Amino acid sequence: MTGYRPFGRTGVQVSPLCLGTMMFGPRGNPDHDDAVRIIHHALDSGINFVDTADVYSAGESETIVGKALAGGRRDNVVLATKFHGALGADVNEQGNSRRWIVREVENSLRRLGTDWIDLYQVHRPEPGTDFDETLGALTDLVRQGKIRYIGTSTFEPSAIVEGQWIAERRGRERVVAEQPPYSLLARGIEREVLPVAQRHGLAVLSWSPLAGGWLSGRYRTGGGQPASSRAERQAARFDVSSPENAAKLAAAEALARLADEAGLTLVQLALAFVLEHPAITSAIIGPRTFEQLDGQLGADKVTLSRDVLDRIDEIVPPGVNLSARDAGYTPPALADSALRRRHACPPAGGG
């Protein structure tokens, strides 16, 4: 692992590669002992930053991370987790309300086997909940010593700015980090999210740098539809026959050829590209196996030439997401047609 990077303006230093643990548990690698060994291998290789979430395998991922950090490893790890997603049948066992946050942080602390969380992140926006309500609860947790810093994930630029405004005007703890999707195939955050993060001194830890597996090297022209657990859960996102996915497949093929010419694997090219952007603090890798982890370790040592970066811009232009699904979040103004129509009518045949 090469030199550590400043985590925004907090004074904390983190590794350029952050170990994501979404694939530990039933949705990926269900073997706890094997997952613990993978986490230990990552830590022994110099990674000091681990990211998880309460909804990853319904809390089981946090439990695995807690096992891996037991026995004296916790103190040297910057530990991040998230809240927001539904974790029960009750309507209030989810979301960004104070009621849920103060309850769920205790559950995460218990599963992780720790007294504090370094970075507690709002996993997705919730426009129906006043962001001051959320920041107020998180501020209390910081002052109680249960969390150290506040982060967001997949927030729109305006929401990022709103968080900074609320902190300044209402005396809340400041959001210090944003976690957006970013890859060679999903460059939309280059337009506003990354410049806004730089303007406010936020750390940025990007998720899905391999575009959900599209940049793993398995998706190649003429190779058919690769089988994967993600493709089973999100068929539309991985169907190679759809027009937008056909564009991703063509781009992945061109990028694989470019990687070959540069003497790199496609995985190395993809991770090095993400880490090249000056706004990016860490890229979150999400291995399921030892082999996948070893294929990603060392990518932070790769430096891409200007010619290679120019070629990448020709294949996927800056600021472009080849698929709208890869944005990770659709604002209500786009998801709900009634919000765009002054005189919304019920569907034909409705009452």
Query: Which has the closest alpha carbon to 153: 91, 216, 76, 208?
Result: 208
Is 82 within 8 Å of 123 (Cβ atoms)? yes
With the CA atoms of 255, 261, 265 and 266 taken in that order, what torsion angle do they form, in degrees rounded to the nearest 10?
0
- CA distances from residue 98 to 174, 188, 239, 262, 337 in whole angstroms, order as listed: 17, 31, 39, 50, 29
**Residue ranges in 113-188 assigned as alpha helix (H):** 131-144, 157-170
Active site residue 56: yes
**Residue ranges in 119-242 assigned as alpha helix (H):** 131-144, 157-170, 193-199, 229-233, 235-238
Choosing from 56, 120, 149, 219, the catalytic residue is 56
* 343, amino acid identity: H
**Secondary structure (3-state) at 120:** strand
Question: Is residue 66 left, alpha or beta, with left meaning phi > 0 and alpha meaning psi from -120 to 50?
Answer: alpha
Rounded to 5 degrees, what angle do the CA atoms 187, 193, 194 make? 75
With the CA atoms of 312, 318, 323 and 324 taken in that order, what torsion angle do they form, in degrees rounded to the nearest 10?
170
Query: Which has the closest alpha carbon to 207: 237, 177, 236, 229?
Result: 177
Strand 13-14 to 5-6 pairing: antiparallel
Q: Which residues are catalytic?
A: 56
